[in-house]
Amino acid sequence: MSDSQYDVVVFGATSFVGQILTGYMLDTYGNNNDFKWAIAGRSEEKLQAVKTKYQAENIPHFIADAANEEQLTKIAQKTKVVVSTVGPYALYGEPLIKVCTKLGTDYCDLTGEIQWYKRMVTKYEQDAKKTGARIVHCSGFDSIPSDLGVLFLQTKAKQLFGSTCQQVKMRVAKLKGGASGGTIASMVNIAKEAAKDPELRKELKNPYSVCPENHNFKSRQDNVSGAVFDEDFNCWVGPFVMGIVNTRVVHRSNALLDNAYQEQFKYDEAMMMGQDKKGKSRARNMSWGLSAFMVLAAIKPTRWVLERFILLKPGQGPTEEEQLKGHYDMRFMGIHENGQKIVTKVTGDRDPGYGSTAKMLGQAAVCLSKISKQEKEGGFWTPASIYGERFIQALTEHSGLTFEVLDKK
Ligand SMILES: NC(=O)c1ccc[n+]([C@@H]2O[C@H](COP(=O)([O-])OP(=O)(O)OC[C@H]3O[C@@H](n4cnc5c(N)ncnc54)[C@H](OP(=O)(O)O)[C@@H]3O)[C@@H](O)[C@H]2O)c1
């Protein structure tokens, strides 16, 4: 059991996103006695470099390799929450989940690797329930804006219409910001695993793949995979790369919130591409581009060419200027069974994958450290199901997000 010398330890402080998170924690919480935090990673030299870069010399640090359970245990015993950015998680993440669920230490991360999420729930949920460890995957751009965006819309729908909407559509209106080597490495790893495993390919198509086993959801879910004209939003839409993760997380939230969005709930995500012919061809190109990437990443020789010459390497990502100039705007439409509709908007003020993700992940870790074990028991939670509405306020105050109702009729 943790003796809670620290509230939060950032594991992977040397990663691209871990460094931004370290800077954010320092700016937001400093190094005072009210909130105690530390950083960790596998390399003393790299951790020292991060401390120098952010003038964080007084922040304690720990050395641990992601595969060394003894070192991970020493960290997990000292803190309420470990927040990890060490990925691809399917390659490096399991020992820390094992240690945290064994000790009852809370944990959150940035994984978007839904196949790994499923493996971890299946393998460690019983341990987490026994020890009281709360595990919260997908605490970055995927899937906080989607998961909390749906919670926000449904809360408003309940106030306005008396009950939640049976269907919600999320459409990305604007998105500016680049990918990092770590994220690309995670996507390549999913393609690689899926190419070898037909069961996994089937699992990746299941919208309820990370729902608890006893869920009763049967609705056929929409899935925008090509260019489609969306009458509700009056524009062409194309596939949204994170939809495969976000939709799964939102359905798990519905299950963990005792079907608060209803048993027949339908949810899908897509990107708005414009109303005219150009919009149609953009949507088509997006669909072809994504399919081509997954095929090329799945085949060994082309994967080698991509990794060697084209894609960013782990540790690389958008510049500080690109992070600052980045932003996103997501629209949600709730369709109530009585025919009424509500439209809401969620925005973020930095590039989604890094500047904004680091601020959301920092708040997720802080929020988790403040939720008592009596209030939420051990298990694998989603952001919406564990943090609830208080998190919307924290994200608005400290992470540059906005949540707004645009239209209700
Ligand atoms: N959900 C989202 O919205 C979102 C957004 C951004 C990123 N991500 C995910 O977050 C993860 C991090 O992304 P990134 O771009 O920051 O990655 P990155 O820069 O490639 O960093 C990877 C980190 O893992 C560490 N690491 C690798 N092997 C290790 C080991 N054996 N022991 C300890 N540490 C080890 C590296 O340590 P060294 O520095 O010592 O090499 C580095 O700190 C990726 O999985 C990515 O997919 C998700």
Residue-wise pLDDT for 115-137, tens only, equals 999 999 999 999 999 999 999 99
**What ligand 1 atom has the least distance to the C-alpha of 186?**
47
Q: What is the pLDDT of residue 179?
A: 62
**What ligand 1 atom has the least distance to the C-alpha of 88?**
45
CA distances from 42 to 68, 204, 368 (A): 10, 32, 24
**What ligand 1 atom has the least distance to the C-alpha of 65?**
32
The answer to whether the CB of 92 is under 6 A from ligand 1 is: yes
Q: What is the pLDDT of residue 245?
A: 92
Span 87-126, pLDDT tens digits: 999 999 999 999 999 999 999 999 999 999 999 999 999 9
Q: Does the structure show a pLDDT above 80 at 150?
A: yes
The answer to whether the CB of 157 is under 6 A from ligand 1 is: no
Query: 314 CA to middle of ligand 1, Å?
Result: 7
Instruction: Report the residue among 10, 11, 15 best suited for mutation to probe ligand 1: largest number of ligand atoms under 8 A from its CB.
Output: 15
Query: 200 CA to middle of ligand 1, Å?
Result: 23
Q: Band the pLDDT of 2: cuts 50, 70, 90.
A: very low
Region of 258 (left: φ > 0; alpha: ψ -120 to 50; beta: rest) is left
Q: Band the pLDDT of 29: cuts 50, 70, 90.
A: very high
Instruction: Report the residue among 68, 148, 180 best suited for mutation to probe ligand 1: largest number of ligand atoms under 8 A from its CB.
Output: 180
Give yes or no for a cis peptide into 146 (omega within 30° of 0). Answer: no
Query: 56 CA to middle of ligand 1, Å?
Result: 20
Let me know if 346 is exposed, middle or buried by CB neighbors in 10 A (0-12, 13-18, 19+).
Answer: buried
Span 13-23, pLDDT tens digits: 999 999 999 99
Question: Bridge-partner residues for 79, per DSSP?
Answer: 6
Query: 159 CA to middle of ligand 1, Å?
Result: 41
The answer to whether the CB of 383 is under 6 A from ligand 1 is: no
Q: Does the structure show a pLDDT above 70 at 183?
A: no
The answer to whether the CB of 385 is under 6 A from ligand 1 is: no
Q: Whose CA is nearest to atom 29 of ligand 1?
A: 66
Q: What is the mean pLDDT of the chain?
A: 92
Span 39-85, pLDDT tens digits: 999 999 999 999 999 999 999 999 999 999 999 999 999 999 999 99
Query: 336 CA to middle of ligand 1, Å?
Result: 41
Span 320-356, pLDDT tens digits: 888 899 999 999 999 999 999 999 999 999 999 899 9
Structural tokens at position 127: 């341990």
Q: What percent of the chain has pLDDT over 90?
A: 78
Span 184-242, pLDDT tens digits: 777 777 778 888 888 888 888 999 999 999 999 999 999 999 999 999 999 999 999 88
**What ligand 1 atom has the least distance to the C-alpha of 313?**
20
Whether the model clears a pTM of 0.85, i.e. scores above it, the answer is: yes
**What ligand 1 atom has the least distance to the C-alpha of 187?**
47
**Pseudo-torsion of CA 51, 57, 61, 63, nearest 10°?**
60
Q: Band the pLDDT of 149: cuts 50, 70, 90.
A: very high
Asked whether the beta carbons of 143 and 250 are under 8 A apart, the reply is yes
Query: 240 CA to middle of ligand 1, Å?
Result: 23
Per-residue H/E/C for the chain: CCCCCEEEEEECCCCHHHHHHHHHHHHHHCCCCCCCEEEEECCHHHHHHHHHHCCCCCCCEEECCCCCHHHHHHHHCCEEEEEECCCCHHHHCHHHHHHHHHHCCEEEECCCCHHHHHHHHHHHHHHHHHHCCEEECCCECCEHHHHHHHHHHHHHHHHHHCCCCCEEEEEEEEEECCCCHHHHHHHHHHHHHHHHCHHHHHHHCCCCCCCCCCCCCCCCCCCCCCCEEECCCCEEEECCCCHHHHHHHHHHHHHHCCCCCCCCCEEEEEEEEECCHHHHHHHHHHHHHHHHHHHHHHCHHHHHHHHHHHCCCCCCCCCHHHHHHCEEEEEEEEECCCCCEEEEEEEECCCHHHHHHHHHHHHHHHHHHHCCCCCCCCEEECHHHHHCHHHHHHHHHHCCEEEEEEEEC
The answer to whether the CB of 192 is under 6 A from ligand 1 is: no
Q: Whose CA is nearest to atom 22 of ligand 1?
A: 15
The answer to whether the CB of 15 is under 6 A from ligand 1 is: yes
Q: Whose CA is nearest to atom 45 of ligand 1?
A: 87
Asked whether the beta carbons of 238 and 227 are under 8 A apart, the reply is yes
Question: Bridge-partner residues for 268, per DSSP?
Answer: 169
Q: Band the pLDDT of 34: cuts 50, 70, 90.
A: confident
Q: What is the pLDDT of residue 213?
A: 92
Q: Does the structure show a pLDDT above 90 at 178?
A: no
Q: Does the structure show a pLDDT above 50 at 1?
A: no
Helices 44-53, 16-29: axis angle to 10 degrees equals 50
- Over residues 254-282, the mean pLDDT reads 96
Place of tokens 């939102």: 250
Q: What is the pLDDT of residue 74?
A: 97
